[in-house]
Amino acid sequence: MTRKKKEEQHEETVETKSVDEEAVEEAADEAPEEPSLEEQLQAARDESAELQDQFLRVAADFENFKKRMGRERSTMLKYAGESIFRELLPVVDNLERAVDQGVVDGVEAEQNLRALLEGVQLTLKRLVGTLEKFEVKPISSIGEPFDPNVQEALTMEASDTVPANHVINEFEKGYYYKDRLLRAARVIVSSGKDKS
């Protein structure tokens, strides 16, 4: 090869190298710089602090929620019977009216007694209706077989009309509240026919 050709090739190689180096430098200038380890560590600390702050806020919100629910539950339990008592107040009013009827001057005793009895019967009817409204229902006992699960035997009596181990009479009615026994009936149970 001639010297001239060698020089031309050398110039092309130098030009190519310088173009390649310039392209690499431009690419390096355009490429984002990698954050240093300190910057990465600081970014991680900042993110950790933010997450911890969010966690603490959520934990505080949850504690406040629990306290509010506790207060609301306490208030609800404290006043749970309010609606029942509100329904019973008219019964008290009717009983007071019935008592007032018993002390009216100048009215014959029989009329007064009849009015009192009528008032008490109406009051009882209203009270039973109120109890049924709240799903309090009486237990049917008279004439039924004795059931110690819902009845309490006070005594046993001989009876020609009621079979043995059946309820003759009730001293106090028993009641269910929804599906739960509220109060057992207090009853007198038949021991069967008198053997004497």
Asked, for residue 25, whether it belongs to a domain, the answer is: no
Confirm whether 166 is domain-assigned: yes
Cα–Cα distances (Å) from 160 to 41, 84, 147, 168, 190, in that order, read 98, 43, 21, 11, 9
The token pair that represents 87 in the structure block: 């329904």
pTM of the model: 0.55
Name the β-bridge partners of 180: 177
**99 phi and psi angles, rounded to 5 deg:** -65, -40
Which token pair is 108? 């014959």
Each of the 196 residues of the chain gets a pLDDT tens digit; together they read 566 666 666 566 555 555 556 655 665 556 567 888 899 999 999 999 999 999 999 999 999 999 999 999 998 888 887 778 777 777 877 777 777 766 666 657 777 778 788 888 888 888 888 888 888 999 999 999 999 999 999 999 998 899 999 999 998 989 999 889 989 999 999 998 877 6
Residue 187 burial (10 A CB sphere; 0-12, 13-18, 19+):
buried
Residues near 144 by beta carbon (within 8 Å), at least 6 away in sequence? 166, 167
- What angle do the packed helices 82-102 and 109-133 form, to 10 degrees? 170
**181 domain residue, yes or no:** yes
- Angle CA(99)–CA(103)–CA(108) in degrees, nearest 5? 120
Classify residue 171: in a domain, yes or no.
yes
Residue that is written with structure tokens 């190298």 in the block:
17
Check residue 112 and give its pLDDT. 76
For the chain, first and last CA: distance in Å? 154
Question: How many domains does the chain contain in total?
Answer: 1
Residue 143 lies in a domain: yes
Structural domain containing residue 160: 136-196
Whether 61 is covered by a domain: the verdict is: no
- CA dist., res. 35 & res. 40, Å (int): 6
In a domain, 50, yes or no: no
CATH number, domain with residue 194: 2.30.22.10
Domain membership flag for residue 92:
no
Closest alpha carbon to 186 in 162, 140, 151: 151
Looking only at the bridges linking them, the beta strands covering 185-192 and 175-177 are: unpaired
